[in-house]
Structure formats: structure tokens, C-alpha cells
Amino acid sequence: MTQRTGWKALSGSVLVTLLLAACGSGSTGTSENLAADQTIRFPINDDIGTFDPAHQSALVDFDFAQNIFQGPVKFDNAGKIVPDLLTKLPDVSSDALTYTFHLKQNIKFSNGDPVKADDVLYSWNRAAAAGDAYAGNFSPIVGYDAVSAKVPTSKTLSGLTKTDDYTFVAKLSAPAGWWLSALALGGVSWVIDQKVVTAKGEDTWWTTPDGLVATGPFKMTARVPKASLDFAPVANWWGGSTGAIKKIHVDVIADQASWVTKYEQGGYEIVGYANMSPTAEDILRYQAGTHKAELTLNPSVRSSWVGFSFVKGPFAGDAGKDGRTAFSMAIDRAQMVDVACAKGAQCTPATGGLIAKGLKGYLGDGQDPTSKFDAAAAKALYTKWDPTGSKVKGLKYTYNTSATNKLVAENLQAQWKQNLGVTVALEALDRQTFFSNRDKKTYVLFRHSWSADYDHPQDWFDNLFTCAAGSSGSGYCNKTMDDLVTKADQKPIDQSLNDYISAQKMMIADVVGAPLFYSIQPYLVKPYVKGAGGNAFFDYYWTALKVLQH
């Protein structure tokens, strides 16, 4: 530290001390000194995709919806599965094939309708039949195949039955050690009000405050599409206290650079909720500045990679394997992390497979050979695969717009040009269009990422890499690996982990994607806001937030 900055720091400290003294007990954090205005405001860069639990797949949407909806069980802030709408965790039979759920008897939707077992059955059957990205969470239940078939032979899961108004049973076709975790994630397992869905319309019920009815502690009070969202606690919530916060206001602002400016002007209390991030420049500035304490860098269980289409274009099938390998080996992950992740503050290089570091199934640092940077080998392999350059003519990399994604895309473009001599065009799309098209396997070369829903490799394989995976994007299908994963899914995790690791090595051999980095979630939080932040999987619930006098 130079003498000048030392004096600045000292004088800053003195000033802060004096200000704190002047404020009296204004920042001690007890319940007596809550601010009069209990409003939390934060920005997101694009509108939410959907609040319909049957169709949700984006983490952004989940981070909101977990405060509005509830299911039988949930993860608490420490990541432990706890009962939510249940009186206790479900009873599981000794053969692990029958789950009996006991609902609390005082649950009410925000419109006052009581919640009974029929509501759970309706919600789950509807989500299973919708067949969207997370419908597979019901795949263990008997009758799922009949509901999810291209031409369904049933509209309901035959293994899901009601015993009485507050008890229901799920019979599984095979043991599934991961299933309770999948239920705790929410989304498809959240309970909705059939009466409201019918009245407001199957596709649009969730879009308005009076249609978005659920059992959670918060409800939507206003929504201007592409502009803003407002939420407030449910009055007389059936579950008891909704916490201190009286209003959540969310701005939809594409320009991420303006977020921190507004935060510094007092316009936001938080930047970083709903899987958003301040820009790299802002993170670097805060790391070096006097408000460093407002910045938290939270390792998250998220991987990012380059996806290759296995159904069309030059990378498809066995013929495209050398191309996939060359494009992966041509990426210097260390450089990418430096350039696109605020000198490594926002992510670390992905060298241990697609399953993120810290999770069960992570292969270990440096264990993925395709993520090893070797420009010469990549160039030689590329030249052998595409000697005339005709295969990559007009090639484009597609991504959804955000500051980080843009930096990543431009860095990939530069590295492929430098190390392979290939010019790749960039195509930036809005989030809704991008995700919708990616699920339809439209893109040849694209951004892909996944935030673990829970700590179980099944979450990655069944959603991303099996033949029927709803969020694959690539259309990758390896029957041998599928069989291995199916068997592993049926065993407890301690007995199945090696199978999942073997399956991941098969994927690496097939070069399913080019792993890029594991993310770190930054949060900027005003010092007078308590209870904000998140664990490795999701933001803390809004019920934990409070604003102190300041």
C-alpha cells in the first residue's frame, strides 16, 4: 500500500467510525432497529421465462419461484431436505418403492383455497404430462412412460394415488436414490391451484398477480413484462411469519453496467440475486476498493461449456469427434478465466469434467483430457479433420446475451481464430429465444451451462446427457451410457458413484462438450441488509431478509 492510499484508508476508517458513532445503534442488527421501509430492490438482465412449475427450467425463474411456490419437501438454506407442505419427511418402504406423504392440514393457497392431496396429484400429473425439461423428475413413478409417451396412453401417473385428503402415495417402478432430492428442488413438484389454472388459462394463469396463486410466503403483486416485477408477503400466510420484508421490487435492465451505478446511488439493496452478476469491472473495482465488504464471492455448483450438436452440422456423430476434440483443446481455460471472469473472481477453469467442482461425480482437477489446452495438437487434429476449411464455413457460436456470456463468446472466437485459424461468427439472442431453441436442438455450436439442482450426478445425466434428456441441447445419445446411468439411478449414491464416474468418462471419450469453467456467484449487498446471499445452489429465501436502519 502506498503512503497516499494508506492515508486514504486511515481517513476512510476514521470517517466510517465517526459516522457509525453518529448513527448510534443504527447498525447493530437487532430486531428493534429494523428500517421503516422493508423493501428490497434488485435487477435482472432479462424477463423471467415462466413461473409455471410444469415448464420452469431456468435458474433465474427458480430463484424467484422458490419464494412463491411450495412442494412436499424443500432444501433449507444449509442444503438439508426438510418437510415443507408435509408434516414430516415421507415414509419410505423397505424396498424403497413406496413413498407415503402426509400433508399438513392447514395449508392454504394465497387466494384462501385449502390444499389437499388432490391438488398435489393434479400438479404432479399436469407437470408429468407437460413433458418439459424437468418432467423426468417423475420418471421413477409407475405409469410415467404412459404419460410421457409421444402419444400418451394415460393422462395421470398410475403409481400416484390418494389415500385420503391429506395422504397420498407414490409407487416407484424402481428404487431411485435421488428422487427425494429432485422433489426438494421444486419446480415440477410444486403445488398449484387447479381452479385458478382452469379459470385463467393453462398457458397464461401465472402471468398476472391474481392468476399466480400458490402456497408460498410471497406473491406477485405487479408485473410489467420486460420491465419490472413486484412481490409482497402473503397476508395471514398459512405457514406463519413471512419475515420482515414487505416488498420485493425487481427491475429488468439489460445493461448490467448500470446496475452497480444504481446500487451505489441507493437504487438497489442487492445485485447478484436470481443468478445475476455485476460486471467484471465492478467486481474488480469492489475488490480493490473501500467497500470490499459489500462483495461476497460464493462458489456455486455451476458448470459452463461449449455445446456441440450431435444431430446436425460438422460436429455431429463419430465423424465430428475430431472436430469437437480440436475445438475443445484449442481453448486455454486459464486465459478465458482471466479475461471473462474478472481475473478469476467469477469462475475457475473447468478441468475435472462437466459436473461442477464440489459435487458428487466431480472427477478431480485435471482429470478431463479434452479440457487440456494444447494449441499445436488441436491445430493438427483440426487440419486432419477439415483440411479445406469447408466444414466450419459459416460456423457460428450462439449464446444468450449477458455481459459475461459476451466476454466468453469473444474470447472463444479469438482463441479459435488464433489456435485453429477458424473464424467463428457470434450470435447473441435473448434468453427466452435462446433456451427455447436450445431445447429444440437448433444450434450447432452453443453456450451451455448447468447449475446443480441437488448434489447427485443423476441431476446432470438425466437432464443433460441421456438420450431422453430434456435440456441436452446437443442431442447426444449413447445407449451404453444410458443403461449404466439407469442402473446407477436405482442405487443409493454410495453404491452408484463409480457408475456415474464411468458414465462421465464415456461422455469425455465422446467429447460431449468443451468444458469451460466452474462459476463463482458474486453478491453485492448493502451493509444494512441482513440475511442476503446464497448457498452453492440457490439464493437464500426472501423470508430471511431484513433491512436495518441506516
Partner 1 sequence: MATLPGAALPEEYVSDVYEMPEQVTLWQDAWRRVRRNKLALAGTTIIAILVLMAVVSVFWTPYPVWKQAVGPTYAGISAQHWLGLDASGRDIFSRIMGGALISLQVGVGTMLIVSAIGIMMGLLAGFYRGALDAAISLAINIWYGIPDLLVVILLVLLFGRSLGNIAFAIAITRWMDMARLVRGQTFALREREFVEAARSTGTRNLVIIFRHIFPNALGPILVQATYAVPQAILFEAFLSYLGLGVPPPTPSWGAMAADGFHALELAPHIVLAPAIALSLTLMAFNFVGDGLRDALDPRMRR
Binding residues for partner 1 (CB under 8 A): 257, 279-281, 284-285, 332, 335, 338-340, 343, 403, 407, 410-411, 413-415, 417-418, 425-426
Of 158 and 418, CB closest to partner 1:
418
Of 87 and 418, CB closest to partner 1:
418
Q: Count of alpha carbons within 13 Å of 18, Cβ hemisphere only?
A: 6
Of 18 and 257, CB closest to partner 1:
257
Of 148 and 419, CB closest to partner 1:
419
> Where would I find the H helices in 202-307?
257-264, 280-288
State the DSSP code for 270.
E
Of 155 and 291, CB closest to partner 1:
291
In angstroms, give the least distance from the CB of 268 to partner 1: 17
In this structure, are residues 215 and 69 in contact, taking their beta carbons and an 8 Å threshold?
Answer: yes
Buried/exposed 354-377: b ≥16 CB within 10 Å, e otherwise: bbbbebbbbbeeeebebbebeeee
Of 109 and 327, CB closest to partner 1:
327
Calpha distance 519→323 (Å, rounded): 26
Of 154 and 335, CB closest to partner 1:
335
In angstroms, give the least distance from the CB of 516 to partner 1: 14
φ, ψ dihedrals at 514, nearest 5°: -105, 100
Coil, strand or helix at 365:
coil
Q: Evaluate the CA torsion angle 481, 486, 487, 490 in order and state its sign.
A: positive
In this structure, are residues 98 and 69 in contact, taking their beta carbons and an 8 Å threshold?
Answer: no
Calpha distance 223→207 (Å, rounded): 8
Calpha distance 332→236 (Å, rounded): 55
Cβ neighbourhood burial of 13 (10 Å; 0-12, 13-18, 19+)? exposed
Of 48 and 340, CB closest to partner 1:
340
Of 113 and 264, CB closest to partner 1:
264
C-alpha cell at 286: 469492489
Compute and round to an integer the Cα radius of gyration of the chain. 24
Calpha distance 202→193 (Å, rounded): 11
In this structure, are residues 92 and 99 in contact, taking their beta carbons and an 8 Å threshold?
Answer: yes
Of 411 and 451, CB closest to partner 1:
411
In angstroms, give the least distance from the CB of 340 to partner 1: 8
In angstroms, give the least distance from the CB of 414 to partner 1: 4
Calpha distance 101→167 (Å, rounded): 6
Calpha distance 315→475 (Å, rounded): 12
In angstroms, give the least distance from the CB of 422 to partner 1: 12
In angstroms, give the least distance from the CB of 425 to partner 1: 7
Residue with cell 426438510: 82
Strands 396-400 and 425-429: parallel
In angstroms, give the least distance from the CB of 413 to partner 1: 6
Of 23 and 339, CB closest to partner 1:
339
In angstroms, give the least distance from the CB of 295 to partner 1: 14
What is the separation of C-alpha 172 from the centre of its chain, rounded to a whole number of angstroms? 27
In angstroms, give the least distance from the CB of 307 to partner 1: 20
In angstroms, give the least distance from the CB of 277 to partner 1: 13
In angstroms, give the least distance from the CB of 279 to partner 1: 6
Of 5 and 198, CB closest to partner 1:
5
In angstroms, give the least distance from the CB of 415 to partner 1: 7
The DSSP string of 307-343 is: EE-SSSSTT-TGGGHHHHHHHHHT--HHHHHHHHTTT
Cβ neighbourhood burial of 241 (10 Å; 0-12, 13-18, 19+)? exposed
In angstroms, give the least distance from the CB of 514 to partner 1: 17
Contact partners, residue 187, CB within 8 Å, separation at least 6: 53, 56, 57, 62, 65, 127, 134, 137
Of 70 and 398, CB closest to partner 1:
398
